[in-house]
Amino acid sequence: MGATGIGNGKVVVNRAMSLDGFIAGPGDAMDWGGGRHPGDIIPPEITAEVAGATGAMLVGRRTWDVGDKMEADDPGSVDYPFSGPMFLLTHRPPDPPLPDVTILSGDIGEVVASALDAAGGKDLEILGADVASQCLQRGLVDEILVYVLPVLLGDGIRFTPPGIGRIDLEPMSSTQSGEVTILRFRVAGRNGTAGA
């Protein structure tokens, strides 16, 4: 059951990360070496598998804006084989409005419940440092999927901000695919696991 008990879907934080714990470089840079973006490094079959299990996406405003800039600078760089409901968590709705994107704001628990319901029994994928941290702090996340990329960024946007507090994780899998190490964790205490 997911975080809200609706269907079989899980709330999954999904992100690429440098070995030293950064999900983006200084100035939100998403260049992972040689001008490559995560989509250039993560094998397409892995991306397709994760996208196939995803029923809806909840994206933070800053992540959305970074994606827009990446797409403008390098068309196709943020392509993802997903076609379900998209939710943008923001207090600053884009102008003009985005077609096929639902704008949400307010209590993060209610936002996640709405987006998970729209996922139709599949997973809700969480994208964005701030929205993921809010979800983790509220105990709304079931799993974390991390693509560890072979680079040390040295500075930038951390996986979690300082002060988030301790969150225990249970390893589910660790695989190597090309240059990427793919780690999947269950958040301890979720889905009837130890620590509940």
Q: How far apart are CA 114 and CA 108, in angstroms?
A: 10
Q: How far apart are CA 20 and CA 195, in angstroms?
A: 28
- What does the angle CA 162 – CA 180 – CA 43 come to, to the nearest 5 degrees? 125
Neighbouring C-alpha atoms within 13 Å toward the C-beta of 117: 7
DSSP per-residue letters across 52-105: HHEEEEEEEHHHHHHHHHHHHHSTTTT--S--S-EEEE-SS--SSPPTTEEEE-
Supply the pTM of this predicted model.
0.84
**Strand partners for 24:** 157
Sheet holding 101-104, edge to edge: 101-104, 86-89, 54-60, 123-127, 11-18, 143-149, 180-187, 169-177
Asked whether the bond before 96 is cis by omega within 30 degrees of 0, the reply is yes
Tens-digit pLDDT string for the chain (196 aa): 344 444 579 999 999 899 999 998 888 887 777 777 777 788 888 888 888 899 999 998 877 777 677 666 666 656 666 888 999 998 888 777 788 889 998 999 999 999 999 999 999 999 988 999 999 999 999 999 999 999 999 999 999 988 888 999 999 999 998 889 999 999 987 544 333 3
